[in-house]
Amino acid sequence: MTITILCTSVTLLIVLCYKTITRWLRQRCLSLPPGPAGVPIFGNLLTLNPELHTHFATLAKTHGPIFTIKLGNRLAIVISGVDMAKEVLRLQDDNFANRIIPAAAKTMEYIKSNIVSSPNGPTLRLLRKICVREMLGKASLDRVYWLRRREMKSLLIHLEEMAGEAVDVGAQMFLMVMNVITSMLWGGVVEGEEKRKEVGKEFREVVGDITEMLGKPNLSDFYPRLERFDVQGIQRKMKEKLVRLDGIFERIIEERKKNGGDGCEDKDFLGFMLRMEKHGGADDNSKSGTTTPFTINHVKALLMDMVVGGTETTSNTVEWAMAELIQKPEMMKKAQQELEQVVGKDNMVEESHLPKLTYLGSVIKEVLRLHPALPLLVPHCPSSTCTINGYTIPQGSQVFVNVWAIHRDPAIWENPLEFKPERFLGIDGSKWDFTGNDFRYFPFGSGRRICAGIPMAERIVGYALASLLHSFDWNLPEGTKLDLSERFGIVLKKATPLVAVPTPKLSHEVLAS
């Protein structure tokens, strides 16, 4: 018995060593980008700092703007140079516009059908077209403005009630943005304040758990062969949550179908998507006349995309902006003076004011420069082996583009660590935008996989920040200090939540109008 166990262990060890050595030799022959030395089996996992964006920026100082690291069995390439970012996101975009789906996200069919996980191809094009052109186009966003206004007003009245007390700004923003997004998605379905709150609460809990699990390091991702064993139980727990989420979606969709179904397309996005689904999908999008299907799974997947893609990104951006402005009161004053001029003291901010708020716009650009919501974008993945700068980038490797590091590169930005909205003002400032055409500034990514929610993000962040600043003065609670340090996650966070005290600037009549 002992001899059998011994023989099996030795054989396993030999096989493992053989595989590690052959993989190592294969990779050496490939002329991969340079990178820190790792150890067999673990690669660089043991020295990986969880603050990935800063860790990668530090490694880039030693290994250059393109380097390799090994995360277990997975090869990752990290890009932190402008030219190479352009190579991945523009010149070789077609090849790199794919994703590696985390093991936890593979557990439910509709999660695999969403935009963020879809490989480059007709389904991705269809989903993005629906999202970017149909739902998040100007006309559609205008149509559901009343829903955003309703949620904003409810937040401002709540903050007025909290006047003089310490408020967790990020938590309030998250709640408001979640309500705004879910209202836009199915706001016409869930009737009644109480019921809306109830659905919203359950939804928030489940989505919070799901994003937390997606952000957890999972051995199944570093060692894909372990995926079926689900060593940490993450996939099992994720599946439980996704079944719950699916239940919420099913209830909402059922309710909508009962109450007039796809006839309600003007009310919110769900109505629009159900109409598409009823017509069996879409869109004769190819010359060959084939139709790309659009199923109920796609409806759920798009709901999920907007909630997960849109909530923390926008609410954290507003929280960062508030923190930076509280740190620099003269800048807060400047933004408030502009609001008084454009909006007036007897009025609430409306989205239609945003294009005239030039200084506020530059504050938002500067926040997204210093604290881009997704500091490493969403990792890309080449569908075939290619070369960048003479280095081989193997098919299937995970490619991180460190936009955070590019936005702080002293060769591009003067005093890059200083928060200075003025750099985006004037003739010089107007050249920077969110289109991803300039690889020195691209907080929303670039190319085929550029953020699908830019118009919505611009409106929500601008409207929320303008409303907070116009309606209240903001100060830190007495005796507290501001901490501006960051914490890496799926979305970049403040390491400690911003707690601040609002003092109303507008009368109750104006706020409640």
For the CB of residue 120, give the shortest distance to ligand HEM in the complex, in Å. 9
Query: What is the three-class DSSP state of 380?
Result: strand
Ranked by CB distance to ligand HEM, the top (closest) residue is 453
Q: What is the dihedral of CA 223, 65, 495, 357, to 10 degrees?
A: -130
The residue among 252 and 368 lying less far from ligand HEM, judged by its C-beta, is 368
The residue among 43 and 382 lying less far from ligand HEM, judged by its C-beta, is 382
Amino acid present at 387: T
Instruction: Report the C-alpha gap between 20 and 73 in whole angstroms.
Output: 9
Per DSSP, the residues of 477-511 read PTT------EE-SSS-EESS--EEEEEE-S-HHHH
The residue among 320 and 472 lying less far from ligand HEM, judged by its C-beta, is 320
The residue among 43 and 493 lying less far from ligand HEM, judged by its C-beta, is 493
Instruction: Report the C-alpha gap between 10 and 102 in whole angstroms.
Output: 32
Per DSSP, the residues of 234-303 read HHHHHHHHHHHHHHHHHHHHHHHHHTTGGGGTTT-HHHHHHHHHHTTB----STT----B--HHHHHHHH
Beta bridge partners of 503: 473
Instruction: Report the C-alpha gap between 400 and 89 in whole angstroms.
Output: 11
For the CB of residue 452, give the shortest distance to ligand HEM in the complex, in Å. 4
Beta strands, E only, 7-99: 66-71, 74-79
The residue among 186 and 444 lying less far from ligand HEM, judged by its C-beta, is 444
Bridging pattern class, strands 486-487 and 493-494: antiparallel
For the CB of residue 230, give the shortest distance to ligand HEM in the complex, in Å. 25
For the CB of residue 267, give the shortest distance to ligand HEM in the complex, in Å. 18
Nearest Cα residue to 274 out of 293, 292, 256, 249: 256
The residue among 73 and 118 lying less far from ligand HEM, judged by its C-beta, is 118
- CA dist 307 → 174, 200, 203, 354 (Å): 11, 12, 10, 23
The residue among 381 and 501 lying less far from ligand HEM, judged by its C-beta, is 381
Tokens of 301: 């997947």
The residue among 38 and 462 lying less far from ligand HEM, judged by its C-beta, is 462
Bridging pattern class, strands 391-393 and 386-388: antiparallel
For the CB of residue 37, give the shortest distance to ligand HEM in the complex, in Å. 29
Beta bridge partners of 103: none
For the CB of residue 312, give the shortest distance to ligand HEM in the complex, in Å. 9
For the CB of residue 257, give the shortest distance to ligand HEM in the complex, in Å. 23
For the CB of residue 491, give the shortest distance to ligand HEM in the complex, in Å. 8
List residues binding ligand HEM (CB under 6 A): 115-116, 128, 305-306, 309-310, 313-314, 317, 368, 373-374, 377-378, 443-445, 449-453, 456-457, 461
For the CB of residue 172, give the shortest distance to ligand HEM in the complex, in Å. 17
The residue among 304 and 506 lying less far from ligand HEM, judged by its C-beta, is 304
For the CB of residue 183, give the shortest distance to ligand HEM in the complex, in Å. 12
The residue among 77 and 368 lying less far from ligand HEM, judged by its C-beta, is 368
For the CB of residue 79, give the shortest distance to ligand HEM in the complex, in Å. 11
Instruction: Report the C-alpha gap between 173 and 431 in whole angstroms.
Output: 30
- CA dist 433 → 11, 375, 445 (Å): 58, 17, 11
Per DSSP, the residues of 140-180 read HHHHTHHHHHHHHHHHHHHHHHTTTS-EEHHHHHHHHHHHH
Instruction: Report the C-alpha gap between 321 and 232 in whole angstroms.
Output: 37
The residue among 149 and 257 lying less far from ligand HEM, judged by its C-beta, is 149
Tokens of 44: 């660089």
